Amino acid sequence: MRVQLDREAFSCSICLDLLKDPVTVPCGHSYCMNCIKSHWDKEDEKTIYSCPQCRQDFHTEACLVKNTMLAVLVEELKKTGLQAAPADHCYAGPEDVENVCSRHDEVMKMFCRTDQQSICYLCSVDEHKGHDTVSAAAERSEKQRELEVSRQNIQQRIQDREKDVKLLQQEVEAINGSADKTVGNSEKIFTELIRLMEKRRSDVKQQVRSQQQTEVSRVRELQEKLEQEITELKRKDAELEKLSHTEDHNQFLHDYPSLSPLSESTPSSSIKIRPLKYFEDVTAAVSEVRDKLQDVLREKWTNISQTVTEVDVLLSGPEPEPKTRAEFLKYSCDITLDPNTAYTKLLLSDENRKVTLMRVQQSYSSHPDRFTGWCQVLSKESLMGRCYWEVELRGNVSVAVTYKNISRAGGSYECKFGGNDKSWRLDCCSNSYNFWYNNVSTPVSGPRSSRVGVYLDHRAGILSFYSISETMTLLHRVQTTFTQPLHAGLGFNWSPGDSAELYLKT
């Protein structure tokens, strides 16, 4: 009885051709020597090798064993010719019931890549003729490699995400630790300030009470002395009255010389009374301290608050810039001008929100923060984070921002807004704009308006100037890196009567 053999039984599942130099791996599957080695060479210097069909792992490439008998058999079959078994002689085993071709009743051991479906050998020469077909084992091997790559990618992503989760947990712990430490330090600092204030309050109270006791004692002493004098005078007056009623002239003349002389009287002019001026000056002095502390707290609180909101661990992308005036006004800042910085011919008014250039000097006291060579003034508040403000202009006015450490004394460009690398200035003249930085001028085009808006995003390093009318028009935009808090500035071009007023959002 002749045994019918299927060509596929003697074919390499990798190249789909008859086996050449057949070798067998420990699991029993056979391949062409070059095919299996090339397959393993693609696995990127792995120390563990696997069978393309059953995926069994091996630890060395030396596991390949030449199959001499199979090699001889393949050579003999090449000579006699290997034919496929007739369809009616090809039976499927119980384990292949689901893998039987319904058309040819053959086991589907091939795969059509063109149609992406499993097929039998007869399908490949029938309706799938000319298609890209491979053995099911080879396709499985290819898909298995893709699956392994996918698994590796997934496992790598899992590791990456686990690292990210761990990193975020560390950040949470760091944030909590930093916040707790900051709160603790802040509590300690504010407690020290409160204790200092309590001590100063106690000192003032003690000094006032001590001075009160001293002054009351002095007054009481003088009061007792005067009361004793009054008693003595009343007694003397009674004695004189009695003598005045003596009817015997000789007796009157006899007793008169024996009268005791009056003691020296306390002159009334020595008593100095200051109505309503006892300790009121102390109250005024304490009030002055309170006002200065309030100014310092108001100025520095903005920095503290903005510094807190600047914390951004995840470093999310920058927020989009505002587009409409309503959006800009959400970042409106309450800015006032600092009289201690104003040039002596600048008059501040309207709660230090308006400045006017005058012909005569104003009565300012000497101060190290004052500009002495340029008609300029700075805001009292420092600016961080996102800020927006508007200036109503009359005449030729410069709108600027600057670091606080800009020079103040003299007429050099180190003191002038835009004349150095510490300040940025937009000149708003009657018919033109010019932007200045580091003493370099840049002409700016745009509609002339009596109001200019300034937008600052300190973290993003953005400074923008806008012409404000019925619409907002961008005049000039700066992109840089700000290294210190900024202050708003206003400057004038020596024309008395020119003024600028900070717009207050209501």
81 pLDDT higher than 80: no
Residue 470 has pLDDT above 90, yes or no: no
pLDDT at position 92 is 46
Which homologous superfamily is 7-80 in? Zinc/RING finger domain, C3HC4 (zinc finger) (3.30.40.10)
For residue 280, count other CB atoms closer than 10 A to its CB.
10
Name the percent of the chain lying above pLDDT 90.
41
What pLDDT, on a 0 to 100 scale, did the predictor assign at position 90?
Answer: 41
pLDDT greater at residue 63 or residue 19: 19
Helix (H), strand (E) at residue 378: strand 376-383
Calpha distance 386→305 (Å, rounded): 12
Say if residue 487's pLDDT is above 70.
Answer: yes
Q: For the chain, how long is the longest CA-to-CA vector?
A: 194
Judge whether 390 and 451 are in contact, CB under 8 Å.
yes
What predicted TM-score, i.e. pTM, was given to this entire model?
0.46
Place 312 in a pLDDT band, splitting at 50, 70 and 90. Answer: low
Nearest to 91 by CA among 104, 81, 78: 104
- Digit-coded pLDDT (tens) for 279-306: 778 888 888 888 888 888 777 776 777 6
Say what the pLDDT of residue 314 is. Answer: 57
Tokens standing for 329?
Answer: 């006004």
User: What confidence category does residue 266 fall into, taking pLDDT thresholds of 50, 70 and 90?
Assistant: low
Tokens, residue 445: 């085009």
Categorize the per-residue pLDDT at 62 as very low, low, confident or very high, splitting at 50, 70 and 90. Answer: low
Give me the numbers of helices (H) and strands (E) for the chain, helices first please. 7, 21
Task: Indicate the SS3 state at residue 259.
Answer: coil
Q: pLDDT (tens digit, 9 = 90+) per residue, 141-190? A: 989 999 999 999 999 989 988 988 888 888 888 888 888 988 999 899 88
* 109-123 confidence digits (pLDDT tens): 999 999 999 999 889
pLDDT(276) > 60: no
DSSP state at residue 476 = E
pLDDT of 342: 97
Name the pLDDT band for 96 (thresholds 50, 70, 90).
very low
Share of the chain above pLDDT 70, in %: 87
- CA–chain centroid gap for 199, Å, is 37
Mean pLDDT of 5-15: 73
Q: Give CA–CA dist 485/305, Å, rounded.
A: 13
| Residue-wise pLDDT tens digits, 210-260 | 988 988 898 898 889 889 889 988 988 898 888 889 888 888 888 888 877
The dihedral through the CA atoms of 300, 303, 305, 311 has a sign that is: negative
Here the tokens at position 107 are 């086991």
Q: Supply the pLDDT for residue 275.
A: 58
Binned at pLDDT 50, 70 and 90, residue 339 comes out as very high
pLDDT number for residue 94: 46
Q: Where are the domains of the chain?
A: 7-80, 325-503
Cα(459)–Cα(486) distance, integer angstroms? 12
Average model confidence (pLDDT) for the chain? 85
Higher pLDDT, 44 or 297: 297
What pLDDT does 52 receive? 82
Does the domain at 325-503 match CATH 2.40.110.10? Answer given as no
* Of 66, 145, 136, residue with least CA distance to 101: 136
Q: Exposed/middle/buried for 30, CB within 10 Å: 0-12, 13-18, 19+?
A: buried
